[in-house]
Amino acid sequence: MSHPHPELSLPPALPAGALRIVALGGLGEVGRNMAVLEYDGRLLVIDCGVLFPEDNQPGVDLILPDFDYIKDRLDDIEAIILTHGHEDHIGAVPYLLRLRRDIPLVGSQLTLAFISAKLKEHRIAPVTRVVKEDETVAFGPFSCEFVAVNHSIPDALAVAVTTGAGTVLHTGDFKMDQLPLDGRVTDLRAFARLGEKGVDLFMVDSTNAEVPGFVTPEVEIGPVLDSVFAASDKRIIVASFSSHVHRVQQVLNAAHNHGRRVALVGRSMVRNMGIAAELGYLKVPDGVLIDLKKVDSLRDDEIVLMCTGSQGEPMAALSRMANGDHKVSVSHGDTVILASSLIPGNENAVFRIINGLTRLGARVVHGGNAKVHVSGHASAGELIYCYNILRPKNVMPVHGEVRHLVANGALAVKTGVPADRVILAEDGVVVDLVDGKASVVGAVPCGYVYVDGSSVGELTDAELKDRQILGEEGFISLFAVVDSATGKVIAGPHILARGFAEDDAVFEDVRPQVVQALEDSIAGGATDVHQLQQVMRRVVGRWVSNRLRRRPMIVPVVVEA
């Protein structure tokens, strides 16, 4: 899969004194966030995340950014700045560090703790540099000032990168919750100060650009959870992201208020919350947390299970519970809370989970019927505030599908940013900042890199298409033996079909047609085995299409005797 703009050629050499920005993920999709900044021959990477597969990508575990653009320039990378600890921003770091292990990782304490734990599983000992808000650190020619922002995970940071070409402010994921649970608000004073100095390019989160107004404060979720707990007289199962420290904190608080104990379910949930508690980001009331093994010794009305799987991920704990494939079984009268918003593309998977849990007799509470989650991304009203505070010279919406990027760009124009200074780019598009003006100068190949089991980057789009065909249309194998001397079919054709409702006997009608087509082709001078195989494929394919209305994968084999 190449870049989405075939009309754009490869970019020219970067002019002296200019800054180049190339997004290798996150533009045109929600996930896989990664931006590469280049100045004076050196590179700075901001975020390196994964994208989770959709239904049309069977068998795929993760999707990575395409590192080809920087593969031959790994030694030019000064650092990887990680804005926060969500998988769509840090999940691909292990795969990049496989190419060069000593690239410094820069981020807040919690972010680096999360990625370090992940890297330990990959047997990589990273080089890390902890930074805090209000701190400025130079990495080669890049002077980076870090700014506190709030999000659905603690310790998120925006970064203002200053070079000789100007200042780029990258928000990472952020919102402007004025009543955050940890008291750490988005630092609008720092935004204002940067705006006074001059922001030449504003790279800003677009996920909620279509949503009017302001995001509901996190503190309003606590009373809703409390009321759900009060109305539940059996087990409560809460599904959330394994990194959502604030939501886990609210669940722990509600459990404490109602005399319940909480068991964490899922390796990533146990690992991340252990880190958060150890570093002081998660305050665990005395005696509330218990080991999952001790759950059976408690009454149903004393139990809360906190697990992963709120996005319908097939291997996550909640999906397996809904399918009856987990040691924790869901029973009639249990309450299941999906404490997260839907990520675009996951709707069908989540609704399947809700239906499965409801069928088992559970009461399912989710964002569609109760305020049990608020987004971690700034809505339109908050974005307009930022534009008015910063007055950026150029704007490049990031983090979102195309509709989100376009909506965000329209907000910028409403606040007075000239339309020709709003850059609507997608993955692989190259943007240069020259003399204070940002413009598209080309594009680089930037495809999906699939992680499929232990293989990375070996699965192609063509092979994915084959998997879809196998799953949706079925499979037919054909085998025939021809006598090269007489030109006659002396064995077969044997037809084996899989994924068809019809009995194999239905294919008896096409066998004579295959024999006739093979013998006619040989009589006409076709002696190459590949040609004869294609003859079989065409005859059977046409017959199956007309008779059964299917387009299966057909694998023909012809052997000469």
pLDDT per residue over 374-410, tens digit each? 888 999 999 999 999 999 999 999 999 999 999 999 9
Distances from the Cα of 9 to the Cα of 2, 15, 93, 311, 441, angstroms: 12, 17, 29, 38, 8
Q: Say if residue 336's pLDDT is above 80.
A: yes
Query: Of 178, 68, 105, whose CA–CA distance to 428 is shortest?
Result: 68
For the chain, how big is the Rg over CA atoms in Å? Answer: 28
Most confident of 55-69, 132-146, 217-231: 132-146
The rounded percent of the chain whose pLDDT value lies above 70 is 90
Mean pLDDT, the chain, rounded, equals: 86
User: Average pLDDT of 229-249?
Assistant: 88
Q: Is 84 known to sit in a ligand binding site?
A: yes
Whether the Cβ atoms of residue 238 and residue 432 lie closer than 8 Å to each other: no
Q: What is the pLDDT of residue 457?
A: 55
Q: The tokens of 432 are what?
A: 């240069």
Q: The tokens of 159 are what?
A: 């970064």
Give the H/E segment covering residue 452. strand 449-452
List, in sequence order, every residue forming a beta bridge with 532; answer none if it has no partner.
none
Q: Say if residue 57's pLDDT is above 70.
A: no
Q: Say if residue 543's pLDDT is above 50.
A: yes
Q: Say if residue 2's pLDDT is above 50.
A: no
Give the H/E segment covering residue 548. helix 529-548
Q: Say if residue 61's pLDDT is above 70.
A: no
Identify the band that residue 502 occupies on the pLDDT scale cut at 50, 70 and 90: low
Q: Is 173 known to sit in a ligand binding site?
A: yes
Q: Is 530 known to sit in a ligand binding site?
A: no
Q: Is 246 known to sit in a ligand binding site?
A: no
Entry pTM: 0.80
The pLDDT tens digits of the residues spanning 118-174 come to 999 889 999 999 999 999 999 999 999 999 999 989 999 999 999 999 999 999 999
Active-site residue (options: 3, 170, 326, 377):
377
377 annotated active-site: yes
Q: Say if residue 499's pLDDT is above 60.
A: yes
Give the H/E segment covering residue 249. helix 245-257
Least confident of 14-18, 321-325, 451-455, 533-537: 451-455
Domains and CATH numbers, the chain: 19-213+375-456 (3.60.15.10), 218-365 (3.40.50.10710), 474-560 (3.10.20.580)
The single-letter DSSP state of residue 216 is P
C-alpha to C-alpha distance for 212 and 387, rounded to whole angstroms: 15
Q: Is 466 known to sit in a ligand binding site?
A: no
Identify the band that residue 463 occupies on the pLDDT scale cut at 50, 70 and 90: low
Q: Is 375 known to sit in a ligand binding site?
A: yes
Distances from the Cα of 160 to the Cα of 116, 379, 426, 475, angstroms: 24, 21, 22, 54
256 annotated active-site: no
Active-site residue (options: 200, 205, 334, 427):
205
Q: Is 374 known to sit in a ligand binding site?
A: yes
Q: Which residue type is seen at 134?
A: D
List, in sequence order, every residue forming a beta bridge with 560; answer none if it has no partner.
482
Helix 529-548 / helix 511-523 crossing angle, nearest 10 deg: 150
Q: Say if residue 203's pLDDT is above 90.
A: yes
Alpha helices, H only, 304-425: 317-322, 347-359, 380-390, 402-414
